[in-house]
Amino acid sequence: MANLVLTLISLLAIGWTLVHAGEPSPLQDLCVADFNSPVRVNGHACLDPKKVTADHFLFKGLHIPGNTSNPLGSFVNRPTVDQIPGLNTLGISTVRVDYAPRGVVPPHRHPRASEILTVLEGTVLVGFVTSDPENKLFSKVLKKGDVFAFPFGLIHFQQNVGHGNAVTIAFLSSQNPGVIPIANTLFGSNPSINDDLLAKAFRVDKSIIRDLKSPY
């Protein structure tokens, strides 16, 4: 009987850990980020509530189209807790992406968030790939008003496949989801990852790796 009790307690402890593996729930109404606090925590220390104003919860300009005149043909406007201090401990943030025709948000992942995206204008190809060994692609072409979800931490992408410009807006399950662009990470790291290692990993000649690194 004692062993059974210990087993149940262990399972409950594991379950609690899994449920709370993401960002913890707030313990008060608000905890506006205090960027000047010397205290270092997982997130930001709380600003004195007496100093909190409505402006700490405000971000202006998400309606303004971004400049897509760049090699990717896209512009990402990503207000996180750094731009909206009131997001601290709330476990949510947003992002607007503008796309020129054929513009892309290249394969990337968010190490601290899942994501739900909706198309405001245009036609957008989206997709994500599951983890190894399946590496299964889930992909859809979205029209205005369509919604698509990207699971936590998986590599995903977007591309404008329409004839005109496109706009999407998304919400992420973290105040600071982070972003890891796959190409930038592998070919633009500092210091650089060894050419021989990357050549073996991608099963190509080292000259191709050097070409892939050159834009970074």
Binding positions for Mn(2+) are 108, 110, 115, 156
Please give the annotated binding residues, written as ranges.
108, 110, 115, 156
Q: In whole angstroms, give the CA distance from residue 178 to residue 93.
A: 11
162 in Cβ contact with 126 (< 8 Å): no
Crossing angle of helices 206-213 and 195-202, in 10° steps, is 110
Peptide bond into 191 cis (omega under 30): yes
187 in Cβ contact with 216 (< 8 Å): yes
Q: In whole angstroms, give the CA distance from residue 93 to residue 109.
A: 15
Hey, what are 11's tokens? 């399972």
Residue of 77, 85, 84 lying closest to 61 (CA atoms):
77
Residue type, position 157, single letter: F
Q: What angle do CA 71, 107, 164 make, to 5 degrees?
A: 50
